[in-house]
Chains A and B, each alone.
Chain A
């Protein structure tokens, strides 16, 4: 399983933010995307995840179903317990066992607590735990370490490392060093020069 980004151009609200993005991620490899706010990290990840169409270029993956995405919102229901939240996403992805994941993310003690009572960092850990139970190989992570303390960042770093060691891939938009041995791609040079997406309302001019 590998991921290849070819001449990708992404647009936010019809305005191109990035163009000519090229990179490939091999199994066991993680790539960290950096760049100033607004450069288009989130847009790029959402486009790769298939949540919005690219305006140019293509995304080559052997199987679209191999990707999973973790954005700013964690998809956690406050009224459900931690275990119920996690179990839901596990079952959606055809998995049944969540005990190992709860342990990895230090959530075992919180398992029966309603997710609404968790702190921001604990919620984030639960949101990231979802990645593990999807059983998917390509992780697309948008600022995964937001609101995590030092210990939790290390914890998450270990989980990512284990994922990579098992042949997984990760594309991470982040500013924080998670203690991973990764390739860093600065998105600043890919800033779109074209002011308007090709095809965007072009027929009207």
Chain B
């Protein structure tokens, strides 16, 4: 077992993905099925929010991943810019649509939850607004990837965009907070126990989060492998054409 960076070799990476993907996918499905069934059918209704509270089993994990997918892309972009590992750039590319979909899920489930709770589908609440802005960042990032023809240039440009975008996403977060104090409840999960949701909701929620994280990992691995294979095809074709 050598350095961690050995897995940055596309061939090596693909081999590893081939081996671990079935297990990760299986675990993801198992955790999601278990967590969602537990959460939906075997937890009590909240005394204030009734059964609507159960949407947290979709809402909280997707919201968590929406942000963390961008963080992962940021790290992968930095790795690409510093160490020029292709897998890193392609993983960032692969994660973007997954993160964007997570953002949409968080926004949709939030709207569905908000309707009975706040009496409106949408409010210009700081958290909601921040997620909408995050979604726009995802869109721009994905659009730039698909617009640039040369793969390495596209990887370079999107990496810089990701870094600059991160700075501005943080600025936007504070700006939006400043702009409107919101309706949204505090964090569902935090180190401070008082703020947290009650234990009965907490454990199935953790299972659901684990399920979402595994699903995210499985999707990113799968999509990265696909990107690597597409690049490989193009590299082979380039040799064929000129031969």
Residues of A within 8 A of B (CB): 13-15, 195-196, 200-205
Contacts and interface: CB of A to CB of B under 8 A. Distances in A.
B86 A203 contact: yes
B239 A196 contact: yes
Nearest to B236: A205
Nearest to A205: B235
17 contacts: A14-B238, A15-B238, A195-B239, A195-B243, A196-B235, A196-B238, A196-B239, A200-B235, A201-B234, A202-B235, A203-B9, A203-B11, A203-B86, A204-B11, A204-B86, A204-B232, A205-B235
B10 interface: yes
A200 B11 CA distance: 15
Highest count of chain B CB atoms <10 Å: which of A14, A196, A201, A205: A201
In this complex, the interface size class of chain B, counting residues with CB under 8 Å from chain A, is 10 to 19
A201 B9 contact: no
Chain A contact residues: over half helix, strand or loop, or mixed? loop
B146 interface: no
Nearest to A194: B242
A186 to B, nearest CB: 22
Nearest to B14: A204
A14 B236 CA distance: 13
Nearest to A203: B10
Interface string B200-243: 00000000000000000000000000001001101110110011
Contact of B232 (A15, A196, A205): A205
Closest A-B pairs by Cβ, 8 of them: A201-B235, A195-B242, A204-B232, A204-B235, A204-B231, A196-B239, A195-B243, A204-B10
Contacts, number: 35
B235 to A, nearest CB: 4
Given A14-B238, A200-B235, A203-B10, 16 more contacts: A13-B150, A14-B150, A196-B238, A196-B242, A201-B151, A201-B235, A201-B238, A202-B235, A203-B86, A204-B11, A204-B86, A204-B228, A204-B231, A204-B232, A205-B235, A205-B236
A201 B228 CA distance: 10
A14 B231 CA distance: 13
A205 B229 CA distance: 10
Contacts of A203: 9-11, 86
Highest count of chain B CB atoms <10 Å: which of A13, A195, A200, A203: A203
B75 to A, nearest CB: 20
Contacts of B11: 203-204
B242 A201 contact: no
A205 B10 CA distance: 9
Contacts of B231: 201, 204
A13 B231 CA distance: 15
A58 to B, nearest CB: 20
A13 B239 CA distance: 13
A203 B89 CA distance: 14
Contacts of B242: 15, 195-196
Contacts of A205: 232, 235-236
A177 B207 CA distance: 79
Nearest to B228: A204
Nearest to A196: B239
A196 B15 CA distance: 25
B199 to A, nearest CB: 49
Interface string B164-208: 000000000000000000000000000000000000000000000
Nearest to A15: B242
B44 to A, nearest CB: 53
A118 to B, nearest CB: 34
A203 B150 CA distance: 16
Contacts of A200: 235, 238
Interface in B1-56: 9-11
A124 to B, nearest CB: 30
Contacts of A14: 150, 238
A13 B152 CA distance: 11
B88 to A, nearest CB: 12
A117 B38 CA distance: 78
